[in-house]
């Protein structure tokens, strides 16, 4: 039996790795994947807390987060694809012309 604290520790590690990858890597695709890792770390934390408390409300929240993550994946990949077609690059340094 895995204790609930192990889920939280793993969620924290995944979230920190996602934040580091988002700020260290300089291409849109890797940053996009880092955001997905952070969302999944949040899901894992919710599931760990639900298991520890024995309540099912957190599992409903996880379902909604998965829905938002799926929508974010579709919209994010469409944006990355559009930027690649326009700029022929997905490096964030090449995106300075996108500033308002």
Domains of the chain: 4-87 (1.10.287.3510)
pLDDT at 20: 96
Give the position of tokens 């939280």: 8
pLDDT in tens, 3-56: 778 889 999 999 999 999 999 988 888 888 899 899 899 888 888 888 887 777
Are 83 and 93 in contact by the 8 Å Cβ rule? The answer is no
Q: What is the pLDDT of residues 43-96, one digit of tens each?
A: 888 888 888 877 777 778 888 888 888 888 888 888 888 878 877 777 777 666
The one-character DSSP state at 96 is: G
pTM of the full predicted structure? Answer: 0.77
User: Exposed, middle or buried, 23 (CB in 10 Å: 0-12/13-18/19+)?
Assistant: exposed
């Amino acid at each position: 039996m895995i204790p609930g604290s192990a889920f939280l520790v793993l969620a924290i590690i995944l979230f920190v790795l996602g934040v580091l990858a988002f700020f260290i890597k300089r291409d849109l695709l890797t940053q996009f994947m880092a955001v997905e890792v952070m969302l999944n770390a949040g899901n894992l934390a919710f599931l760990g807390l639900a298991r520890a408390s024995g309540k099912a409300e957190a599992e409903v929240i996880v379902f909604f987060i998965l829905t938002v993550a799926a929508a974010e994946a579709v919209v994010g990949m469409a944006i990355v694809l559009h930027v690649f077609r326009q700029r022929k690059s997905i490096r964030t340094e090449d995106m300075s012309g996108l500033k308002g």
